[in-house]
């Protein structure tokens, strides 16, 4: 829910952008505008906003330099920063996310989209505050999260159960952020997770790939599937929200969401102890678009070279894509989607898993 007292700081050297942005937000938020990074730091001496909208291309000090200074100062390091940019450059977006930005908004921006992005991010910040109160101090919260990562296989106490609920809430928030950017696929992450559970249960019931379950923590694996499309955060709005089929160049750009997802998860790994959850997430992000015949991406893996987790995710992912409506296509029926997947046996999909899917396909009908 939007906070009537939230303060938004809008930083842009273009006066017209400042006016448009302020007019779009002033009915809901207290808006401070700054025509430069230097002026922003002056305002920050007197006011700490709930969120900063920061232009990248500014004279004297650009957005990248400004966010580095923000993150160096204890007083400002926790302020959420959303970059404003006219660039269509995934590498630049990834650089900004690596520096600590939480999102990118392309200019010229749509006022309704701007308000919705801010609403989502402020909701995240509100959840963080509630979690801080629940766990008394941020230090206790960090210790509990670290303890969770170190003891994933032993979550049997009431305390570790609380931490599991906390991680689920954070994962749901991340998933919502991904779907907020890619707004044509609402519910995709939840449905694919449920589809993946159907397939995993079928594997167990039919005794297939027993070596997988000797090492797999099923619940962690299913939770990690929520991050399979996290790399879309680094794909530009022009491509994610295009109301029609992508060109070859645009599709090549979109395919990078798999490698971007792996890089994002590796960055999280660098700041934590060894964690099966992140290992599962990285496998799914990087392999769910590989194909059994080697014609998939990003690595062109073939047959058993593709991790079994990715082969399972491919079926759940394609089923949901087929049965979802897009601006450039109608949704296929359940029967049509099942038939298409069966026709992909041995080319797109693992033959053994395709046969298994056929046996439990009626369960997929309930996903919608």
- The pLDDT tens digits of the residues spanning 80-91 come to 999 988 766 667
User: CATH number for the domain including 95?
Assistant: 3.40.50.2300
**pLDDT band of 125, cuts 50, 70, 90:** confident
Does 285 lie in the same domain as 163?
yes
Does 241 lie in the same domain as 343?
yes
Out of 44-53, 115-124, 215-224, 289-298, the most confident range is: 289-298
Does 178 lie in the same domain as 100?
no
Domain boundary among 121, 138, 172: 121
2 has a pLDDT exceeding 50 = no
Residue 275 to residues 259, 271, 364, Cα–Cα distance (Å): 20, 11, 30
Residue 98 is predicted with a pLDDT of 87
Mean pLDDT is lowest, of 72-81, 169-178, 260-269, 285-294, for 169-178
The rounded mean pLDDT for the chain is 85
Evaluate whether residue 47 is within a structural domain: yes
Residue 368 to residues 179, 192, 327, Cα–Cα distance (Å): 17, 11, 19
Evaluate whether residue 146 is within a structural domain: no
* Domain extent for 333: 156-367
Does 292 lie in the same domain as 164?
yes
Residue 146 is predicted with a pLDDT of 67
Domain boundary among 121, 143, 168: 121
- The pLDDT tens digits of the residues spanning 141-158 come to 456 656 666 655 555 445
Verdict on whether the full-model pTM lies above 0.85:
no
Residue 171 is predicted with a pLDDT of 64
Q: What DSSP character marks residue 87?
A: -
- The pLDDT tens digits of the residues spanning 211-233 come to 887 888 898 899 899 889 888 88
Does 208 lie in the same domain as 79?
no
Q: At what angle do helices 63-72 and 37-44 cross, to 10 degrees?
A: 20
Residue 26 is predicted with a pLDDT of 92
Give residue for tokens 């689920």.
168
Residue 123 is predicted with a pLDDT of 86
Does 112 lie in the same domain as 167?
no
Residue 284 is predicted with a pLDDT of 96
Distance CA 37, CA 59 (A): 9
Mean pLDDT is lowest, of 116-120, 309-313, 344-348, for 116-120
- The pLDDT tens digits of the residues spanning 271-285 come to 776 678 889 999 999
Q: How many domains does the chain have?
A: 2
Residue 199 is predicted with a pLDDT of 96
Does 200 lie in the same domain as 65?
no
Distance CA 315, CA 72 (A): 45
């Amino acid at each position: 829910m939007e906070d009537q007292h939230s303060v938004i700081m809008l930083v842009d050297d273009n006066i017209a952008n400042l006016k448009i942005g302020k007019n779009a937000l002033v009915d809901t938020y207290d808006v401070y505008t700054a025509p430069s990074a230097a002026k922003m730091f002056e305002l920050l001496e007197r006011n700490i906003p709930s969120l900063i909208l920061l232009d990248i291309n500014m004279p004297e000090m650009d957005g990248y330099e400004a966010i580095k200074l923000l993150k160096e100062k204890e007083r400002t390091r926790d302020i959420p920063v959303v970059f404003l940019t006219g660039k269509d450059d995934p590498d630049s977006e990834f650089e900004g996310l690596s520096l600590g930005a939480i999102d990118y908004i392309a200019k010229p921006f749509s006022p309704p989209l701007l308000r919705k992005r801010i609403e989502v991010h402020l909701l995240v910040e509100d959840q963080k505050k509630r979690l801080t109160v629940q766990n008394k101090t941020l230090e206790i919260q960090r210790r509990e999260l670290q303890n969770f990562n170190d003891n994933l296989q032993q979550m049997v106490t009431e305390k570790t159960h609380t931490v599991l609920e906390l991680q689920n809430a954070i994962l749901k928030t991340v998933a919502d952020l991904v779907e907020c950017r890619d707004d044509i696929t609402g519910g995709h992450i939840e449905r694919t997770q449920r589809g993946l559970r159907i397939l995993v249960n079928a594997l167990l019931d039919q005794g297939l790939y027993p070596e997988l379950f000797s090492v797999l923590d099923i619940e962690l694996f299913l939770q990690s599937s929520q991050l399979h499309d996290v790399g879309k955060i680094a794909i530009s709005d022009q491509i994610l929200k295009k109301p029609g089929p992508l060109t070859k160049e645009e599709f090549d750009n979109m395919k990078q969401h798999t490698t971007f997802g792996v890089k994002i998860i590796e960055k999280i790994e660098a700041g934590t102890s060894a964690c099966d959850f992140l290992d599962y997430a990285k496998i799914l992000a990087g392999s769910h678009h590989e194909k059994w015949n080697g014609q998939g991406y990003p690595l062109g893996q073939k047959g058993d070279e593709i991790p079994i987790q990715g082969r399972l995710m491919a079926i759940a992912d394609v089923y949901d894509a087929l049965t979802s409506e897009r601006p450039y296509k109608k949704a296929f029926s359940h029967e049509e989607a099942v038939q298409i997947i069966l026709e992909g046996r041995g080319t797109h999909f693992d033959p053994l898993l395709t046969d298994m899917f056929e046996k439990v396909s009626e369960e997929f009908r309930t996903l919608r």
